[in-house]
């Protein structure tokens, strides 16, 4: 099936859960065109961000002929996120990649075996891909503001905020509640304690997550596929240099690195704007072109 970028197809969606190797289930939402699909997409979220944040993005790509999957990591949203459950969850940050992200990638591939599979990874999602045990099922990756979280890559007041986050806020509040009470602090979704402890340990080291693992534990250098790494001006959560750092970890991939500087009168994408509907022109259309044709233009 061949589609033009202007084609609009009717989209259906359904919600369900899938099992994982670690024994817990993940809440998944599938968006798919009524006509035969041309490609499969898995969207892997930023830290503490509900999958529903990416629904409009997934829906739009489904109108262009793609099957799209969003999901909540273990301990987030509809994937066992009650405060009682959060205190008992053993998932850590790396297992969100090795187990959770890997499970949805395998599911998407098994459900659509004849289609190419693209991973769209937002923020920590691009870090977790380096632990994804099913990386070989992927044909392309789009990294959206995926970065190192080491505090010294940040600037000005945000550098201080990151230092306090890793050294003070996470270590002090998490033991009190048995999980990180992000909602009470007006940040994002609450996080399991082991995710928090590992994430904070990464953020305190210049080499971030690479400080704690060797080549037998991660798969960054095993990616040999095209990867598009995007960053945006005014993104205090993922400054250009921090995104550059993560992109270099995929040292065997065919990396296309693009940094967007908003022009005069243009809206800044920052860290979360890429997935909002106003970003369709030009960002979603450029992303679609990259996925289908390999050109980001």
Identify whether 209 is part of a domain.
Answer: no
Question: Tokens in use for 279?
Answer: 């970003």
pLDDT digits (tens, 9 = 90+) for 157-200: 999 999 999 999 999 999 999 999 999 999 999 999 999 999 99
Grade residue 1 by pLDDT with cuts at 50, 70 and 90.
very low
Identify whether 192 is part of a domain.
Answer: no
Give the model's pLDDT for residue 161.
Answer: 96
Average pLDDT, the chain: 94
Q: How far is CA 81 from the centre of its chain?
A: 18
* For residue 9, pLDDT beyond 90: no
pLDDT digits (tens, 9 = 90+) for 28-43: 999 999 999 999 999 9
Identify whether 243 is part of a domain.
Answer: yes
Residues 6+ apart with CB under 8 A from 98: 131, 132, 133
Identify whether 76 is part of a domain.
Answer: yes
Give the model's pLDDT for residue 7.
Answer: 57
* For residue 2, pLDDT beyond 70: no
Q: Which domain holds residue 244?
A: 11-149+216-293
Give the model's pLDDT for residue 159.
Answer: 97
Give the model's pLDDT for residue 297.
Answer: 83
Give the model's pLDDT for residue 4.
Answer: 44
In 3D space, the residue among 219, 294, 288 whose CA is nearest the CA of residue 255 turns out to be: 294
Identify whether 79 is part of a domain.
Answer: yes
As a whole number, mean pLDDT of residues 10-35 equals 96
We report the CATH number of the domain holding residue 276 as 3.40.50.1820
As a whole number, mean pLDDT of residues 245-251 equals 97
Q: CA–CA separation, 28 vs 34, rounded Å?
A: 19
Identify whether 172 is part of a domain.
Answer: no
Q: CA–CA separation, 156 vs 139, rounded Å?
A: 38
As a whole number, mean pLDDT of residues 125-151 equals 98
Residues 6+ apart with CB under 8 A from 67: 30, 31, 32, 33, 37, 39, 40, 41, 108, 111, 112, 115
pLDDT digits (tens, 9 = 90+) for 43-82: 999 999 999 999 999 999 999 999 999 999 999 999 998 9
Q: CA–CA separation, 222 vs 219, rounded Å?
A: 5
Give the model's pLDDT for residue 171.
Answer: 96
Grade residue 6 by pLDDT with cuts at 50, 70 and 90.
very low
Q: CA–CA separation, 122 vs 43, rounded Å?
A: 8
For residue 268, which phi and psi values (nearest 5 degrees)?
-80, 130
For residue 130, which phi and psi values (nearest 5 degrees)?
-70, -10
The domain tally of the chain equals: 1
Give the model's pLDDT for residue 262.
Answer: 86
Percentage with pLDDT > 70 across the chain: 97
pLDDT digits (tens, 9 = 90+) for 201-219: 999 999 999 999 877 889 9
Identify whether 116 is part of a domain.
Answer: yes
Q: How many degrees, rounded to 5, is the angle at CA 130 between CA 194 and CA 108?
A: 95
3-state secondary structure the chain: CCCCCCCCCCEEEEEEEEECCCCCEEEEEEEEECCCCCEEEEEECCCCCCHHHHHHHHHHHHHCCEEEEEECCCCCCCCCCCHHHHCCCCCCHHHHHHHHHHHHHHHHHHHCCCCCEEEEEECHHHHHHHHCCCHHHCCEEEEECCCCCCHHHCCHHHHHHHHHHHHHHHHHHHHHHCEECCCCCCCCCCEEHHHHHHHHHHHCCCCHHHHHCCCCCCCHHHCCCEEEEEEECCCCCCCHHHHHHHHHHCCCCEEEEEEECCCCCCCCCCCCHHHCHHHHCCHHHHHHHHHHHCCCC
Identify whether 159 is part of a domain.
Answer: no
pLDDT digits (tens, 9 = 90+) for 83-127: 999 999 999 999 999 999 999 999 999 999 999 999 999 999 999
């Amino acid at each position: 099936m061949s589609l033009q970028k202007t084609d609009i197809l009717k989209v259906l969606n359904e919600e369900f859960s899938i099992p994982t190797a670690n024994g817990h289930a993940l809440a998944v939402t599938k968006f798919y065109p009524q006509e035969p699909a041309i490609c499969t997409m898995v969207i892997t979220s930023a830290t503490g961000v509900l999958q529903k944040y990416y629904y409009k993005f997934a829906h739009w790509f489904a109108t262009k002929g793609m099957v799209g999957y969003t999901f909540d990591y273990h301990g987030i949203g509809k994937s066992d996120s009650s405060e009682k459950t959060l205190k008992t969850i053993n998932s850590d940050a790396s297992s969100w990649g090795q187990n959770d992200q890997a499970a949805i990638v395998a599911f998407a591939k098994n459900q659509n075996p004849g289609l190419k599979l693209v991973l769209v990874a937002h923020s920590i999602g691009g870090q977790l891909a380096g632990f994804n045990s099913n990386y070989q099922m992927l044909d392309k990756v789009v990294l959206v503001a995926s970065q190192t979280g080491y505090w010294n890559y940040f600037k000005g007041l945000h550098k201080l905020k990151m230092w306090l986050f890793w050294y003070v806020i996470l270590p002090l509040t998490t033991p009190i509640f048995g999980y990180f009470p992000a909602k009470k602090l007006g940040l994002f979704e609450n996080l399991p304690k082991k995710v928090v402890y590992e994430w904070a340990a990464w953020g305190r080291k210049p080499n971030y997550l690479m400080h704690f693992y060797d080549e037998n534990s991660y798969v960054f250098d095993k990616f040999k596929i095209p990867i598009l790494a995007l960053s945006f001006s005014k993104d205090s959560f993922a400054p250009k240099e921090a995104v550059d750092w993560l992109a270099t970890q995929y040292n065997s991939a065919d990396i296309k690195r693009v940094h967007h500087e908003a022009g005069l009168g243009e809206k800044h994408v920052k860290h979360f704007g890429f997935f909002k509907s106003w970003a369709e022109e030009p960002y979603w259309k450029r992303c679609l072109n990259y996925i289908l044709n390999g050109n980001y233009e």
